[in-house]
Amino acid sequence: MGSYNTVDARPSDNKHLGDARDSAYNPAASSPQNRVSAAASNVASTVANAAPSVEDLKAQLSEASAQITKLKQQGEEQVARFRKTAADSTERLTAGTTGVGVQQHSAEGVPVPIVAALCLLSFLLAYFFF
């Protein structure tokens, strides 16, 4: 015959099988109606907690409008600064005081035909000897 549990084999605080059944969670044993109602109550409480109040929305709106006006002022300052520097540079160009002198570069270094001949020579040496 098979083995069976005796009173001595059980834990001392377990008096009957109902204790084990009550402490265990089995989703298949719960009824679908209980699961739906529990899910609906969880969703309702989450939605109620997630929705901001009218006062919070008004505070956020006032903060956003303050931020917008601040950014508009910064943009206007940058445009004015840009226009000022552009006007200064055009004045300097017309006056001829750009601060950068026009220099004529003289031809320095090896002429292009000699460089091309050296490249061709090195290619031919590598082609024939390697």
Contacts of 92 by beta carbon, 8 Å cutoff, 6+ apart: 98, 99
The total of structural domains in the chain comes to 1
pLDDT number for residue 128: 93
Q: Is residue 104, in this structure, part of any structural domain at all?
A: no
Q: Is residue 63, in this structure, part of any structural domain at all?
A: yes
Q: Determine the straight-line distance between the first and last CA of the chain, rounded to whole angstroms.
A: 91
- Integer Cα distance of 91 and 98 in angstroms: 9
pLDDT number for residue 58: 92
Q: Is residue 114, in this structure, part of any structural domain at all?
A: no
Retrieve residue 105's tokens. 């570069």
Q: Is residue 108, in this structure, part of any structural domain at all?
A: no
Residue span of the structural domain in which 40 resides: 29-93
Q: Would you write out the chain's pLDDT as a tens digit for each of its 130 residues? A: 555 555 555 556 666 666 666 666 566 555 656 666 777 777 666 666 666 788 989 999 999 999 999 999 999 988 888 888 877 777 776 766 555 556 666 778 999 999 999 999 999 999 999 8
Q: Is residue 9, in this structure, part of any structural domain at all?
A: no
